Chains A and B, each alone.
Chain A
Amino acid sequence: MKKRTTSILMRGVFAAMVIGAVFAGSANAAPAWKFNNTSLTGSETIVGAAFESSMTIPGLTTKCENFLYKLTISNKSGTGEGSLTEVPLYNCTTNSPVCTVDAIAAEKLPWASHLTTVTSSNYIVIEGVKVAILYGGEECVLGETVATVTGTAGGLINNTTETATFNASSFSATKTKLSALGSGIEWNGVFPTEAFEWHREQALTVS
């Protein structure tokens, strides 16, 4: 009888340890925004411009020379969050000789974002992305058509270069997807991160 009670107790303790370890693990895994290796308290505004960015529907690539963004970041319960409040896009072109970009605008801002860790790499996931692109050109099959890019985008955070890189690998790792015209699209972009307010010129890392 005593043996049985001890066995049940031991099993209970083991189960509690396992559950505790799992929770501790997930708490550690939640990445946070850090400035000079110190977790951000309060919020900070990050402003940047893409080094390069392009969106490709097979056969048609659209590029913007000026892809700017304004992201307000904070840590909530140890996990980094963000709110993309401004995404101005200028000087956009296509690789097609007949298609122009007559207008382009980010819609339904702000877009929420959060940090996540996937197999020891940190990512930023932007939700509710919506960008409307009005193509032009008499011979362009998309002429006078608004193509709306929607979905969720995941980008790999690199602490060394202080950048977020969005490409097929980062989308696959974060199980995110952007679509336009009912079809999946490819989005490639490298975005630098730089604090604009209280932590200006401080190293921004995610861990």
Chain B
Amino acid sequence: MRQKRKTTRVVCMAMFAVALATLGLAGSASAFSAEFKKFEFCPYTNTEVKKCLYSVTNSGEVVLGNKKVPVEKPVTLQGGFGKPDEITETSKFYEATNGITLSKAAQAVPGGLLGIVPPEKSPALVKALSKFFFENSLTGVNSTLELAKPASEIKISEIHLSTREGVALQLPIKVHLENPFLGKSCYVGSSTSPIIWNLTTGITTPPGPNKSIEGAAGEIEFLEGGRILELKNDVLVDNAWSAPSAAGCGGILSFLVNPIINGQIGLPSTAGHNTAILKNTIFLSTAAAVKKDHTEHP
């Protein structure tokens, strides 16, 4: 009888614990109001973080060497940033708490890498694989933008974003080229040799043959009584960046495949031959406002 009571108590306690855990999970899932939900991964508890950023690149294009890749799948940049440096007017960036500061969205390379012709002296296997993977419409090539360095290496200037002068966002990136034949490690750019985008909402001054292009600050709207700023139709541009050679393409055959990819894309590509145009919707809030919203929506 005593044993039965004990068992019942244990079962009850377990059920109570499960109920608490469920409530806890439910609570954390709705820990922000609808407008602030987008800032849930902002590191707002870090006292160095003054503002939270959530930016979605909805369209645009990246011209890398002689390949133009339209941005068709949204790419999200999120995290926090600190007080701006008084001289440079730029702020240090802080990684998103879920680790996804820059989301990985695979963009299709139009036409894949059709036209790749391995050198005549290439082994028959390389020629055959190249033909199979590149010269058909089914297995195209995707390119994915990834951060080449830690998020702390990103620099942002809220002031330059609106004044359209200077660099508004500096991104150290690498381009991941994906295709079954290219393997999992085919990159243009790396942590030691990143592609640096100095993006501006103003006018670029690239070396030739590129010509000046113009970004846009976009249209501002304040939401939540001045707690959130939405920047619509913001356009960040840079066409003065250079890109190194591709590396790691083709796995163990990289010594053969890398030169093919480089030849096809035109890598390394010096400044004046590459372009990045990112059309964004940007949301900003203060860390204090995000924190308060979180406490008010437990």
Contacts and interface: CB of A to CB of B under 8 A. Distances in A.
A94 B227 CA distance: 13
B139 interface: no
Contacts of A24: none
A25 interface: no
A141 B289 contact: yes
A139 B225 CA distance: 10
Residue with the highest number of chain A CB atoms closer than 10 Å, among B158, B159, B162: B162
B226 A60 contact: yes
A145 B228 CA distance: 14
Nearest to B221: A58
Interface of B: 51, 83, 158-159, 161-164, 201, 217-223, 225-229, 284-286, 288-289, 292
Nearest to A146: B159
A141 B161 CA distance: 14
B286 A58 contact: no
B292 A182 contact: no
The 4 closest A-B pairs by CB, nearest first: A182-B217, A59-B222, A96-B226, A182-B162
A204 interface: no
Residue with the highest number of chain A CB atoms closer than 10 Å, among B219, B220, B221, B229: B220
25 contacts: A57-B220, A57-B221, A57-B222, A58-B222, A59-B226, A96-B225, A96-B226, A98-B225, A98-B226, A98-B227, A99-B226, A138-B286, A138-B289, A140-B226, A141-B286, A142-B226, A143-B286, A144-B83, A182-B164, A182-B220, A183-B162, A183-B217, A183-B218, A183-B219, A183-B220
Q: Mostly helix, strand, loop or mixed at chain A's interface? A: loop
Contacts of A138: 286, 288-289
Contacts of B292: 139
Given A139-B288, A181-B162, 13 more contacts: A58-B220, A58-B221, A59-B222, A97-B225, A97-B226, A99-B226, A139-B289, A141-B222, A141-B227, A141-B286, A145-B159, A182-B218, A183-B220
B11 to A, nearest CB: 47
B92 to A, nearest CB: 16
Contacts of A58: 219-222
